[in-house]
Amino acid sequence: MKTKPIVSSVVNLTPAGKNYNNSFFEQRIGDATLGLTPYFSKLLYKLSKENAWSIANYIVSMRTEVNLSDHYRRNILSVLTNFSIFYNNKSFRLLTRDEILAFLDSLRKVEDVDPLHKWVSTNIIHIEFINIRYAPYSN
């Protein structure tokens, strides 16, 4: 069964559509990783600009709404960059629901390894990001 791609619920993911202004892009990466080690900004630069922009925007938006700890920002950056890399930097907007669920399922741990189900909190980060940035395609 073929699934439909996820459609962006945020119309303008990048400044001026798909035209990335490098200084604005670099500033956004800097804002998202402010106070963190350079390792985390390097993670974003390894991604496609569109996915890096989406992750950086998500973090900056979250920082304005709640006081994110550095630990939580590091976790978000690590998990979402792995999400992008899992699908070879395929645009988040083009991922299907089945692809997203396959990634989330890849994080699942067996009961013996994780009896307290701590892997679930990692999935929650993914689900929050997906729900905020991308709404499922509806008929």
- Chunked mean pLDDT (size 10), the chain, 139 residues: 43 42 86 93 92 91 86 88 90 83 76 70 63 47
Query: Taking each helix axis from N to C terminus, what angle separates 49-65 and 70-86, rounded to the nearest 10 degrees?
Result: 150
Q: Give the separation between CA 137 and CA 107, rounded to whole angstroms.
A: 24
pLDDT at position 23: 84
pLDDT at position 82: 87
Query: pLDDT tens digits for 87-119?
Result: 899 988 888 878 877 887 777 777 777 777 666
- Using only the alpha carbons of the chain, give its radius of gyration: 15
pLDDT at position 17: 45
pLDDT at position 105: 77
pLDDT at position 56: 92
Q: Give the separation between CA 7 and CA 136, rounded to whole angstroms.
A: 6
**Burial (0-12, 13-18, 19+ Cβ within 10 Å), 130:** buried
pLDDT at position 10: 36
